Homo-oligomer: A and B are copies of this chain.
Amino acid sequence: MSAIVLFAHGARDPEWAQPFEKIRQHLQQTLPATTVAIAYLECMQPTLDEAISNLSAQGIHHITLIPMFLARGGHLKKDLPALLANIQQQHTELTLHISPAIGEVEDVLCSLAQWIGTEFQKNKTH
């Protein structure tokens, strides 16, 4: 069985999680047979370790991890690899596919630029 894990930064403010929860719901509607989970680097739960342990306990051993980060810095270059090395040691049965971070995907950047352009034109005409 396969699952998607959206891996986000986390924050002290509970409202911060809303966009990720909305994306999770969109995905869950499109892929009703696939578990879609969210995991956080800090401040929020579950952690990546907790989320993956939960999935593994359900017999899910193929996970696509989506780094929900706009840009690559220390969190993706250092923190995430360290977490993953530890997780792979604990769950040797696990196949983990780490996707590019959303800010590394040309299509995502293009569609963001398009929305920003529309937003700008809307304000200009008001």
Contact = CB atoms under 8 A, between A and B. Distances in A.
Interface size class, chain A = 35 or more
A7 to B, nearest CB: 11
B113 A30 contact: yes
What's the dominant secondary structure at chain A's contact region?
helix
Given A66-B116, A120-B34, A104 B74 contact: no
B116 A6 contact: yes
A80 interface: no
A62 B126 CA distance: 12
Interface string A1-34: 0101010100111011111101100110011001
A54 interface: no
A119 to B, nearest CB: 5
B72 A116 contact: no
Given A19-B109, A109-B23, A13 B120 contact: no
A57 interface: no
Nearest to A119: B99
A68 interface: yes
Interface of A: 2, 4, 6, 8, 11-13, 15-20, 22-23, 26-27, 30-31, 34, 62, 64, 66, 68, 70-74, 77, 97, 99, 102-117, 119-120, 123-124
